[in-house]
Structure 1
Amino acid sequence: MGIDEHLDRARSGLDRLLPRQAAAEAAAGAVLVDTRPEFQRLAGGSIPGALVIERNHLEWRCDPTSGASVPQAVDFDVRWIVLCDEGYASSLAAASLRGIGLHRATDVVGGFRAWRAEGLPVGASAG
């Protein structure tokens, strides 16, 4: 199996959101997580209110039982909405979160670039 098939399998288990859907869910209490590396956030800006967790820390920070979780990781029912730059790595990340029991995790179709193209809020670069 190559990466394309792996990505298709990962996405088949997600209820992926368009940027405006993600913004609405975040406004209603879902946790929007920006997994882009610092250099991309510095170059492109940040999403106000998004929690920044770089990809290599994601599972540990979102798992409420890990001992290294963020305050938002209160239980396995949290709605995690993962966002990367273009919506590829975020699909794999959301599938990984589902794999550890975070059954409501998903991602944003098109990632940060689609968010910005929709005219949704983008703030100053965040490090």
Structure 2
Amino acid sequence: MSTLDSILDEARSHLRRLEPHELHALEDALVVDIRPHHDRLAEGEIENSVAVERIVLEWRLDPAGDWRLPGFTADTTVVVVCNEGWASSLAARDLQRIGLPNATDLVGGYRGWRAAGLPVREGGSQAVV
């Protein structure tokens, strides 16, 4: 097993990862799309998701931070979405470390969501900065 596989396994051991239909059924989750703008523009986005590029994720979601997004608390379920569900696992682990115990990610990422036939918003919004 590679070092990266070990790190990914460790990160996922702390997550209750969601399948696309499970996420679709949640009513009060904050869905955060960390994919680059060009991916969101080419493939679309999950409806009602918020785009926050990975480079600023912790600053925008620090529950006690000055730069945090409005409208969520430390108890909010935050679901991180990347292309295929790999980078999002590491990002969700990092969000748990900064005080979001309900942070998790989407199995299969955006592409898994789209393959499941769930609603998407075409085009990509600009990331929240």
Question: Is TM > 0.5 for Structure 1 vs Structure 2?
Answer: yes
Alignment partners' CA distance in 2, 1:105 and 1:123: 23
Number of aligned positions between the proteins = 124
Task: Provide the residue aligned with 1:67 in structure 2.
Answer: 66
Q: Kindly report which structure 2 residues correspond to 1:38-77, keeping only aligned pairs within 5 A, or say none.
A: 38-73=37-72, 75-77=73-75
Q: Kindly report which structure 2 residues correspond to 1:1-127, keeping only aligned pairs within 5 A, or say none.
A: 2-25=3-26, 28-73=27-72, 75-127=73-125
Offset at residue 72 of structure 1 (A): 2.5
- Structure 2 residue runs of 5 or longer lacking an equivalent are none
Misfit runs of 4+, over 4 Å: none
Percent identical across equivalent pairs?
A: 48
Alignment partners' CA distance in 1, 2:71 and 2:81: 16
Partner-residue secondary structure (3-state), 1:41:
helix
What amino acid sits opposite 2:100 in the alignment? L
- Contact 2:63–2:100 (8 Å) recurs in 1: no
Alignment partners' CA distance in 1, 2:33 and 2:87: 11
What amino acid sits opposite 2:83 in the alignment? D
- Structure 1 residue runs of 5 or longer lacking an equivalent are none
Residue-by-residue CA offset, 1:27-84 (whole Å, 9 max, x unaligned): x1111111101011011111121011111111111112110000123x2111101100
- Contact 2:41–2:123 (8 Å) recurs in 1: yes
Offset at residue 121 of structure 1 (A): 0.6
What amino acid sits opposite 1:93 in the alignment? A
Partner-residue secondary structure (3-state), 1:68:
coil
